[in-house]
Amino acid sequence: MIYQVAIKSLPQDWLWCETWCDDDSKQRAKTIDLCNNPKTKEPKLKAAARIVPEWVEYDTEIRQLLDHLENKKKNAILTHDEL
């Protein structure tokens, strides 16, 4: 298949990665690849919070939603068991 379909690379604006892109180009990035940086060995979540400052807020919001859903599920099970 690779010989029948031409494969093209995306410009850096479409896929920014800290490993091979500079900080200035991040401002124009349409997507950010939170890949592992082999130079730093930094954990992905820590890198995400550093590279994308909004990440901390998003992560907190998602964790709160998951906690809410888990509590709702537990309450539903307890209520069902009382019947």
Structural domain contains residue 63: yes
The confidence score (pLDDT) of residue 61 equals: 97
Please tell me the chain's helix, strand, coil percentages from 3-state DSSP, rounded to the nearest 5. Answer: 50, 5, 45
Phi-psi region of 45 (alpha: psi -120 to 50; beta: other; left: phi over 0): alpha
User: Six-digit token pair at 62?
Assistant: 């998602």
For 29-49, the pLDDT digits (tens) are 999 888 787 888 898 889 899
Q: Which residues contact 25 (CB under 8 A, 6 or more apart)?
A: 12, 13, 16
Is 67 a domain residue? yes
Residue 81: pLDDT band by 50, 70, 90 thresholds? low
Question: If you average pLDDT over every residue of the chain, what do you get?
Answer: 86
DSSP 15: S
pLDDT tens by residue, 12-33: 788 888 888 888 999 999 998 8
Is the confidence at residue 67, as pLDDT, over 90? yes
Residue reference for tokens 């998951």: 66
Domain that holds residue 46: 9-51
My answer on whether 44 and 17 are in the same domain is yes
User: For the chain, what is the domain count?
Assistant: 2
Residue 16 domain-assigned? yes
Q: Which residues, including other chains, have CB under 8 Å from residue 36's CB and lie 6 or more apart? A: 42, 44, 47
pLDDT at 78: 73
